[in-house]
Amino acid sequence: MKLLVTGSNGFLAGSVIAQVPTHITLHGLCRNKLEKSSIDIVHHAFDLTDFNTLEEIIHSIRPDSIIHTAAISNIDTCETNKIIAEQVNVDVTRQLAQLANDIDCKLIFCSTDSIFDGIHGFYTEEDIPHAVNVYAATKIKAEQIVLKANKKNAVARFSLIVGLPVINAGNSFLSTLIDKIKKGDDIQLPSNEIRTPIDVITAGKALIELAENDFSGIIHLAGNTSLTRYELGLEIASIFNFPKHKILPINSNSLPGRAPRPNNASLDNSKAKQYLETPMLSIIDGLTLSLNFKLPEDE
């Protein structure tokens, strides 16, 4: 089996790449080649908005599955760079979906809990998305493109992904938090944003499973614990033995210059538990798994 991972220098992609079993031939699309000697992967470095190169590469590799993690994943960056957000999150996904369909390759698209407005929480795959920011709007459009392009495609909607970076930090919430704590900064975390965080190791493992199995349609990949970002900060502080008084609750709706976020974007993970062998974990078990994960070269 040949697997292609886009955004291969990203936070989530690092976990996928590190866990791909040896019977799978692995290719990664990234903007800069960052070689990791212990991992058997062929990197192809170019910007995904270069559609001619994208077509050439897809036709030469002819993957069986593509895990599409590449995105402008920072919500505030999307809000202030609408054109680039649309190009990368929507137009690239459209092009990739078409190219994958041409060779009858399964495309797994990484989406987000942010597509919901956060009014009631505990969303199932049947709930109707409603964007409260540009990032969410681009992800909703891209989901629809992917699902329409080929019946075998899958949309994996992730809750907040937590854990230490496996290869690269990318958009890791925990890395940013740890850096701030080490500097001695106070950390303000929203007490109004409820999430069901999934650890990065489980997230990567579930994506590999989706690349290998015949699941199609939408699936929510989320942990078993529903908590606010502030409560998550306190959990992390106790695991890392950081001073808890440095973690302060704020209402994110009152912060100027920050894109709106859904209040309660918690996801119901029942479908993932029914269809996947990869277990969905509690926040403590997920963080523990991530902290104990080692690349082969580290063992």
Q: Which is nearer to ligand NAP, 46 or 240 (CB)?
A: 46
Report in angstroms how near the CB of residue 245 gets to ligand NAP at its nearest: 26
Sign of the Cα pseudo-torsion (84, 85, 88, 91, in order): negative
Report in angstroms how near the CB of residue 160 gets to ligand NAP at its nearest: 5
Q: Which is nearer to ligand NAP, 3 or 70 (CB)?
A: 70
Residue 6 pairs in a beta bridge with: 29, 68
Report in angstroms how near the CB of residue 206 gets to ligand NAP at its nearest: 12
Residue 198 pairs in a beta bridge with: 161
Q: Which is nearer to ligand NAP, 49 or 80 (CB)?
A: 49
| Closest to 74 measured CA to CA, from 88, 60, 53 | 88
C-alpha atoms less than 13 angstroms from C-alpha of 287 in its C-beta half-sphere: 19
Q: Which is nearer to ligand NAP, 150 or 159 (CB)?
A: 159
Residues forming the site for ligand NAP (CB under 6 A): 7, 9-13, 31, 47-49, 69-73, 88, 110, 112, 158, 160-161, 170-171
Return d(Cα 95, Cα 133) in angstroms, integer: 23
Contacts 24+ apart (CB under 8 A), 21-29: 21/208, 24/208, 24/212, 25/1, 27/2, 27/3, 27/61, 27/63, 28/4, 29/4, 29/5, 29/54, 29/57, 29/70
Helices (runs of H) and strands (runs of E) counted in the chain: 11, 13
Q: Which is nearer to ligand NAP, 48 or 237 (CB)?
A: 48
Report in angstroms how near the CB of residue 9 gets to ligand NAP at its nearest: 4
Q: Are 195 and 266 in contact (CB under 8 A)?
A: yes
Q: Is 191 helix (H, G, I), strand (E, B) or coil?
A: coil
Report in angstroms how near the CB of residue 61 gets to ligand NAP at its nearest: 16
Report in angstroms how near the CB of residue 204 gets to ligand NAP at its nearest: 10
Structure-block tokens of residue 158: 């992730």
Q: Which is nearer to ligand NAP, 150 or 170 (CB)?
A: 170
